A and B are shown apart, each in its own frame.
Chain A
Amino acid sequence: MAIEAINEQLLRAVGVGVALFDGEGQTLSFRNDVFESWFEEAEPGISLPALFPTLDVEAVRAALAEGRRYATETTFRKKRRTIVIAQTFSRAIIGDEPVLVLECQNISRIRELESMIESYSNMVERNTREIQREKEQVEKLLLNIMPRAAYEEYKSFGVVAPQKYEAVTVMVLDFIDFAAASQRLAPASFVGELNELYSAFDRIGEQFACERIKTTGDTYLCIAGMHDPGMDHAAAVANAAIRFIRYLERRNANAETAWRCRIGIATGPVVGSVVGVQKYVYDVFGPAVNEAAAARDRAAAMEALVTGAAAALLAEGPALTAPSGAGAAAAGLRALSAV
C-alpha cells in the first residue's frame, strides 16, 4: 500500500475528527468520518469561513503565520444535547503544498462533568456554611455554660477534668427582697429585669477579667484568676464589685423597681469542673466559694464585704473600711469603700 493511502487510512481510523483544507483554508480537501458525523455540511470544496461562520479566520491565519497552533471551541445542539467540540488548527506541508489541518475532539462529556462538579461543590459549600453556623451556635451555647478553657478541653478530649486553682478570688452576689420581687412583678418583666442586671454584670465583669460561673436564682457568682494565675485577681473582683454597686445605684435612680444587692468576696482555692453526664453544668467548689457566700450573708444592702485573705491582697487596690454590721467586723471582714 502506498504511504499516502496508509496515511489516509490512519486519519479515517482515529477517534478525533480531522479535516484538511488546501492553502489557508480555501477549500476542504479531506475530512474523516468522525468529522463528518459532527459537521454534516463539511462537503469537499467548502471553505473554512463558510463551514464555521463564527470562527475568527483572521486569528487562525495570524497564529499559523507565526508558526503557532490555534485552539478554540465550537458548540452546537444535536438531538437536544449540547455538543462542545475543541478545535485545533495547525499547518502541515503535504508534497510541496501548505495544508491547514483541523483536529476536533468532542469535549461535551468534560463540560458536563465540569457542570456536575460545579453543582456538587455549590451544594457541599452551602452545607458546609450551614454546618459552620450550627457549630458556632453550639459553641456559643457551650461557652455560656463553661469557661472557654474548659470548653477547649471538652472539644479536644470530650471531657473536662476537674482542676484545682490554688488562688482565685470569688465574688458571690445576691439581691435583697428577691423573693418578694418575684411575686410582685409579672413573670416576663421579672425575668426581663434579671436579664438586664446579669447582662450588665457580665459586661462589667468582662472589663475586669472576671468570669461569670453561674447564676442560681438571685445568686450571681463570678471569679477572677482561674485562667490567668499571674493577674491581680483580688483587685479585679473588688473593682468589679464597686462598679456593680454603682451600676445598681444609677439604675435604681430611674427605674421602677429598685434592686439592692449584697456582695461577698473571698480569696482562696477552688476546684472547677463540668458536672453532669447528660446535662452539663460547669461549677466551682471549695473554701473560697463558701467563704464568699458567708461574707455575702453578713453584708448589708449595697455593701461588699471582703475576707481577710482577699483584703491582704488589696493593699494597693480599692480602699477598705469597717463593715456596717458588728457581726461582720467580728468575723474579720472588711468592707469595700466605694469611693
Chain B
Amino acid sequence: MNQKTLYEKYGGFAQINRIVMAFYDGLLDSDEVGPYFDDVDMKRLIDHQTKFVAALMGGPAEFGDDHLRRAHASLGITDAHFDEMKAILGGTLADHGVAAEDVATVLAAIESRRGLVVA
C-alpha cells in the first residue's frame, strides 16, 4: 500500500508553502550561505525552493541526482555551508510543527546527497 507522504501528512501545499517561504527567508538572512544568492533572481530561487521542499517531503516534484550535481557544480559549496543549510532547514521544519522524527527523515535524505552538492 502507498504510505502517506510527509507532504500529505503536513497538509499538502496549503501548509508546505509556509515552510517554503520561511526556508527562503532563512537562507537569505544567513550570513553563511546567503551570499550564494546575492545575484540569484528571486523568481528562480523561489522556483527552486518550492520544488526542493516539495521533493524533500514527497510532494509533486523530483530532483534527479544529475540535476543536483549540475546545479551546484560551479558554486564551490563547502561542508560548513551544507551543514548550515541543513540546520536552517531543520529549524524551519521544527518551527512549523514537523515532528522530530520526520525532521530527522528529511535531513537524512539531504545528507545522502551531500556528495552531489559539496565541491
Contact = CB atoms under 8 A, between A and B. Distances in A.
A, B: real partners: yes
Interface of A: 79-82, 109, 111-113, 115-116, 118-120, 123-124, 127
Given A81-B28, A123-B61, A116 B21 contact: yes
Given A109-B21, A116-B17, A127-B60, 18 more contacts: A79-B28, A80-B28, A80-B34, A80-B40, A111-B42, A112-B46, A113-B21, A115-B43, A118-B43, A118-B47, A119-B46, A119-B50, A120-B13, A120-B17, A120-B50, A120-B54, A123-B60, A124-B60
A85 to B, nearest CB: 14
Nearest to B39: A80
Contacts of A82: 41-42
A118 B13 CA distance: 13
Interface string B3-17: 000000000010001
B35 A80 contact: yes
B42 A112 contact: yes
Nearest to A77: B38
Contacts of B28: 79-81
Contact of A115 (B37, B46, B54): B46
A138 B50 CA distance: 31
4 tightest CB-CB pairs across the interface, nearest first? A82-B42, A115-B46, A119-B50, A119-B47
Contact of B47 (A115, A124, A127): A115
B51 interface: yes
Q: Which secondary structure dominates chain B's binding surface?
A: helix
Given A115-B46, A124-B60, A80 B37 contact: yes
Give the contact-size bracket for chain B: 20 to 34
Contacts of B17: 113, 116, 120
A230 B50 CA distance: 57
B49 to A, nearest CB: 8
A80 to B, nearest CB: 5
Contacts of B21: 109, 112-113, 116
A80 B38 contact: yes
B35 A116 contact: no
A109 to B, nearest CB: 8
Contacts of B57: none
B56 interface: no
A127 B12 CA distance: 15
A285 to B, nearest CB: 35
B61 to A, nearest CB: 5
14 contacts: A80-B40, A81-B42, A109-B21, A111-B42, A112-B24, A113-B17, A113-B21, A116-B20, A116-B21, A116-B50, A118-B47, A119-B47, A123-B59, A123-B61
Nearest to A112: B46
A119 B21 CA distance: 13
Contacts of B59: 123
Interface in B70-89: none
Nearest to A125: B60
B40 to A, nearest CB: 8
Contacts of A115: 42-43, 46-47
A81 B13 CA distance: 24
A109 B28 CA distance: 14
Contacts of A113: 17, 21
